[in-house]
Amino acid sequence: MPSTFPIRRIVVAVVLSCTVLVSTTACGGETRTPQSTSQNAAEKAAPVAARSSASPTASAERQRLAKTRFVANAGLAAGAAYQWIVKPFKAGKFKKGAKGRTFALVKAGLAGAFTYNRLKAATENAKGDPLLSKALAPLSSGIDSLKDLGGKLRKGDASDADVGKFENVIGGVKDAGQKAGAPVTDQVPSAGQLSGG
């Protein structure tokens, strides 16, 4: 019996490490550059003649892909903000003395950084569609205001106004998407996606 305990630990550690590695590999590429890795790969794979021609079909396809990417990124941002910031805050999990406060604050900090990151990616995606770009333009300062709130949440220094910023910005992004024909629905990211950025 004593010899199986370390083996269990090793197996659990390997499985968790692989899960985090796969999760961060799956979504980590879009967080490091202004243009997403998948977008770069698609551009490199396209023939030079197709890229240089301005056919209506290519433009329509580019706009459709921009909307699809926008919806995915904005949905993940909305899901993370609601699940790990707004909902626990309203339930009182961030208050001193609350059970599980430290864990809730760490998750909220990660969710804050993740939400900001996905909203910035959604803003970049929106540039591929003129209507969506125009609808999202007034929200850029609101999105930028979320940059440091992840750290504030992690430290337990967030106020009602800070959490309200997340709700307002996410609501504005959803409204902009709806008006531009790209409705956004909340998609709760996995823990691996959340920690991977």
**18-59 tens-digit pLDDT:** 554 445 444 444 444 444 444 444 444 444 434 444 444 567
pLDDT at 108: 92
Residue range 64-93: average pLDDT? 93
pLDDT at 12: 56
The three state secondary structure string of 165-193 is: HHHHHHHHHHHHHHHCCCCCCCCCCCHHH
pLDDT at 13: 59
What is 69-88 written as a DSSP string? HHHHHHHHHHHHHIIIIIHH
| Residue type at position 146 | L
What is 108-139 written as a DSSP string? HHHHHHHHHHHHHHHHHHHTTSHHHHHHHGGG
Report the C-alpha gap between 133 and 137 in whole angstroms: 6
61 vs 181: which has the higher pLDDT: 181
**Lowest-confidence segment of 1-5, 29-33, 136-140 by average pLDDT:** 29-33
Summary mean pLDDT of the chain: 78
Whether residue 22 contacts residue 192, with contact meaning beta carbons closer than 8 Å, is answered with: yes
Residue range 179-197: average pLDDT? 87
What end-to-end distance do the CA atoms of the chain give, in Å?
Answer: 40
Q: In the structure, what pLDDT confidence band is assigned to residue 63 with cuts at 50, 70 and 90?
A: confident
Sign of CA dihedral 115, 121, 190, 19: negative
Whether residue 86 contacts residue 160, with contact meaning beta carbons closer than 8 Å, is answered with: no
Q: In the structure, what pLDDT confidence band is assigned to residue 115 with cuts at 50, 70 and 90?
A: very high
pLDDT at 7: 60
Q: Please determine, for residue 159, whether its predicted confidence score (pLDDT) is greater than 50.
A: yes
pLDDT at 57: 54
Place of tokens 């370390």: 6
pLDDT at 53: 42
